[in-house]
């Protein structure tokens, strides 16, 4: 089965530092998403991306967050100045078309110290 690939699997950073989380969605997919899951809590929506622009974003996705699809294959999430509460597992997901499977990557565990 095709896979969504995320790197790194773990990222440790100091508060206030910038981090970039990388994702390679499945090649023929058109819809892309970032979610996060704080330990012990439910998965939370951050942002959806379609046709090279943000379709929707949650209240979590403030000015500190940005997404890019720089080269047609990678899909990145940047956090400009990390806070302690940004510590979570970040999942990238992609979807080929409506009604089909939403595929998740294995996640990047971000720890902000």
Partner 1 sequence: KNQVEQSPQSLIILEGKNCTLQCNYTVSPFSNLRWYKQDTGRGPVSLTIMTFSENTKSNGRYTATLDADTKQSSLHITASQLSDSASYICVVSEDNFNKFYFGSGTKLNVKP
Give the residues lining the site for partner 1 (CB under 8 A): 4, 31, 33, 35, 41-45, 48, 50, 55-56, 58, 89, 91, 93, 95, 98-107, 109
Considering beta carbons, is residue 15 or 38 the nearer one to partner 1? 38
Residue of 9, 19, 37 lying closest to 81 (CA atoms): 19
Residue 46 beta carbon to partner 1: minimum distance, rounded to whole angstroms: 10
Instruction: Select 55 or 73, whichever has its Cβ closest to partner 1.
Output: 55
CB of 48 to partner 1, least distance (A): 5
Between 35 and 86, name the residue whose CB sits nearer to partner 1.
35
Neighbours of 104 (CB within 10 A): 16
Instruction: Quote the strand ranges of 19-74, DSSP E.
Output: 19-24, 31-37, 44-50, 53-57, 65-68
Helix, strand counts (H, E) of the chain: 0, 11
To partner 1, the closest distance from the beta carbon of 83 in angstroms equals 22
Q: In this structure, are residues 36 and 89 in contact, taking their beta carbons and an 8 Å threshold?
A: yes
Least distance (Å) from partner 1 to the CB of residue 16? 27
């Amino acid at each position: 089965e095709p896979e969504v690939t995320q790197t790194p699997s773990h990222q440790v950073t100091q508060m206030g530092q910038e981090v970039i989380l990388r994702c390679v969605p499945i090649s023929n997919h058109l819809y892309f998403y970032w979610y996060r899951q704080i330990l012990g809590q439910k998965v939370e929506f951050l942002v959806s991306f379609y046709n090279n622009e943000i379709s929707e974003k949650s209240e979590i996705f403030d000015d500190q967050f940005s997404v890019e699809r720089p080269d047609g294959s990678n899909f990145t999430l940047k956090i400009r100045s990390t806070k302690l509460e940004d510590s979570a597992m970040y999942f990238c997901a992609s979807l080929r078309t409506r009604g089909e499977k939403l595929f998740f990557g294995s996640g990047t565990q971000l720890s902000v110290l």
